[in-house]
C-alpha cells in the first residue's frame, strides 16, 4: 500500500486523502498508479524476465477502464477480457488486439464475432459447442483464430466457494472425461479454422497456498502428454491462470509471485525435458494481485448508532453498491479514519452502508478512533472488484475513480449523475 500518516492525516501515493474527499466528493475510489506499476514490474522480475517465452495477461475483470488499459499496455502486459464490454473497452483504448485473450464460460455469438473481427490473440474455449460457433464465424470471414481449451482440473482450492473455479463441479471449463475431452482435442487439431494452441486452467481466486496450482499443473501436463501420445501433436502453449492472493487484513498470509510460479516453472521444465519437447509458452493471468492493494475507497461518515451493550454502528455514504464483496462472500477489510489517522483506536464498531438491506455491512468489529459525523473513512485494498462490481441498487450513483501518483490526482472515471443513471429509461406513450 502506498499509504502514510502525516499530522494525523492519511496520505495515499502522496495525496492528502481528506483533501481528495473534499475536492472530488465521496464515495470515491482512489487508485495508486505507483502501486500498479510496482506490481507489473514485480511480475516482470519474477516471471517475464526470468523465463523466456512467457506472457502475463492482466485479468481486466478486477478493474478495467480506458486509463487502466493504457497503463497495462505501457508496462508490457497482455490483456485478459471476459465479455464484449471488456473487449470493447480495450479496443477503444487502442490496446493491441494481438495481445488480448477472451475468456468466459458463456460467450455470445456477438462477442465471438467481435473477437474474431478484431483478430484478437487468443480465445479461451470454455465449452464444446463454442468451437462450432467459432468455426462457423471463421468460415464466414475466411479467417483463422488461435484457441486454447479451458479445462476443469478437478482440484479444490482453499478459498470461498464462490471464487473457487477449478473443482470438477464448476460452471467453468471442459471436464476431463476421456469421451469428452479427447474428441474435442482431435477436432481442434484437425480444424481448418483454428490454431489449437493448448490448454488453460484457473483454480480459484485470492489464494495463499500453491497446492491447488501444482495439482492442476500435474493434470494439465498429463493432458499434454496424452495429446502427444494419441495425436502426435505438441501443444505450444499453456495458460496457468492467476488467483494470487493479496493482503486485505493481517489474517492474510500473502505470498510472492515467485512462491507460486517458481515451482510450477520447474515442473514444466522437467516435463518438457522428459518428453523431449520444446517447453510450451507459459501464460499467467494476474488481476486482483496487480490492483487490489493499489486502491482505497473514501467515504463520509454519517449517522452513528450506539446500541448499548450490543453494537455501535457507524454508517457511511456508500456500501454494497460500491463494494459488494462483504455482502457477497463475507470479504474482510481494514479501515482508518483518514482525518484522525494518527489517533489511537479506542472504539470497536461496525461500519454499515446506506442501502436498504440489513446485509449492507462493510466491516464488522472495526477498530477505529472515535468517529463523528463528517469524518472521512478510508477502506484499504479495494482496488479489485470495487468499481468493476458497482451497481445502482437503491438508485445510488456509481462513484468517481481517481488515479493518484506522487501527490497529483486525476479523474479517470467521472462520478455518475442522477441523469446518467436514468439516461436509458423511457416512458412509453401508453403511460403518458
Catalytic residue annotation? 356
3-class DSSP state of 261: helix
Cβ neighbourhood burial of 395 (10 Å; 0-12, 13-18, 19+)? exposed
Residue count of the chain: 432
Q: Which of 338, 328, 334, 339 is nearest to 351 (CA)?
A: 334
Contacts of 65 (CB under 8 A, 6+ apart): 89, 387, 401, 412, 413
Residue with cell 493491441: 96
C-alpha cell at 412: 479517470
φ, ψ (nearest 5 deg) of residue 344: -65, 145
Cα separation, 44 vs 143, whole angstroms? 33
Cα separation, 354 vs 396, whole angstroms? 9
C-alpha cell at 293: 492493494
CA angle 130, 133, 136 (to 5 degrees): 150
Cα separation, 276 vs 264, whole angstroms? 18
Cα separation, 137 vs 109, whole angstroms? 9
C-alpha cell at 97: 488486439
| E-only strand ranges, 129-243 | 145-150, 194-200, 237-239
Cα separation, 235 vs 230, whole angstroms? 12
Cα separation, 367 vs 365, whole angstroms? 6
Amino acid at each position: 500500500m502506498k499509504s502514510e500518516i502525516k499530522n494525523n492525516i492519511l496520505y495515499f501515493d502522496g495525496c492528502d486523502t481528506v483533501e481528495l474527499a473534499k475536492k472530488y466528493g465521496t464515495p470515491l475510489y482512489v487508485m495508486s498508479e505507483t502501486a500498479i506499476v510496482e506490481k507489473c514490474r514485480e511480475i516482470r522480475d519474477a516471471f517475464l524476465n526470468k523465463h523466456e517465452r512467457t506472457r502475463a495477461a492482466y485479468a481486466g475483470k478486477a478493474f478495467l477502464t480506458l486509463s487502466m488499459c493504457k497503463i497495462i499496455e505501457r508496462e508490457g502486459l497482455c490483456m485478459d477480457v471476459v465479455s464484449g464490454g471488456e473487449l470493447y473497452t480495450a479496443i477503444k483504448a487502442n490496446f493491441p488486439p494481438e495481445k488480448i485473450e477472451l475468456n468466459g464460460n458463456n460467450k455470445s455469438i456477438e462477442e465471438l464475432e467481435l473477437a474474431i473481427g478484431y483478430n484478437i490473440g487468443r480465445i479461451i474455449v470454455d465449452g464444446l459447442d463454442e468451437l462450432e460457433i467459432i468455426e462457423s464465424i471463421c468460415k464466414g470471414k475466411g479467417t483463422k483464430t488461435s484457441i486454447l481449451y479451458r479445462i476443469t482440473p478437478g482440484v479444490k482450492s482453499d478459498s470461498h466457494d464462490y471464487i473457487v473455479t477449478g473443482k470438477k463441479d464448476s460452471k467453468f471449463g471442459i471436464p476431463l472425461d476421456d469421451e469428452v475431452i479427447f474428441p474435442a482435442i482431435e477436432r481442434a487439431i484437425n480444424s481448418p479454422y483454428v490454431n489449437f494452441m493448448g490448454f488453460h486452467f484457473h483454480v480459484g481466486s485470492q489464494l495463499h497456498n500453491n497446492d491447488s496450482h501444482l495439482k492442476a499443473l500435474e493434470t494439465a501436463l498429463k493432458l499434454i502428454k496424452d495429446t502427444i501420445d494419441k495425436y502426435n501433436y505438441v501443444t505450444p502453449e499453456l495458460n496457468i491462470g492467476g488467483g494470487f492472493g493479496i493482503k486485505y487484513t493481517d489474517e492474510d498470509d500473502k505470498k510472492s509471485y515467485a512462491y507460486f510460479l517458481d515451482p510450477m516453472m520447474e515442473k514444466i521444465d522437467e516435463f518438457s525435458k522428459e518428453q523431449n519437447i520444446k517447453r510450451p509458452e507459459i501464460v499467467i493471468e494476474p488481476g486482483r494481485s496487480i490492483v487490489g492493494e493499489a486502491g482505497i475507497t473514501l467515504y463520509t461518515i454519517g449517522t452513528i448508532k450506539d446500541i448499548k451493550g450490543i453494537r455501535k454502528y457507524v454508517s457511511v455514504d456508500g456500501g454494497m453498491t460500491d463494494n459488494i464483496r462483504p455482502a457477497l462472500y463475507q470479504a474482510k477489510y481494514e479501515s482508518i479514519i483518514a482525518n484522525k489517522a494518527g489517533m489511537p483506536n479506542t472504539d470497536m464498531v461496525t461500519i454499515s452502508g446506506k442501502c436498504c438491506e440489513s446485509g449492507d455491512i462493510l466491516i464488522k468489529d472495526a477498530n477505529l478512533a472515535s468517529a463523528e459525523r463528517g469524518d472521512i473513512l478510508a477502506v484499504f485494498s479495494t482496488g479489485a472488484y470495487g468499481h468493476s462490481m458497482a451497481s445502482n441498487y437503491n438508485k445510488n450513483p456509481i462513484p468517481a475513480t481517481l488515479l493518484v501518483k506522487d501527490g497529483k490526482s486525476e479523474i479517470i472515471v467521472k462520478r455518475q449523475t442522477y441523469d446518467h443513471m436514468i439516461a436509458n429509461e423511457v416512458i412509453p406513450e401508453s403511460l403518458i
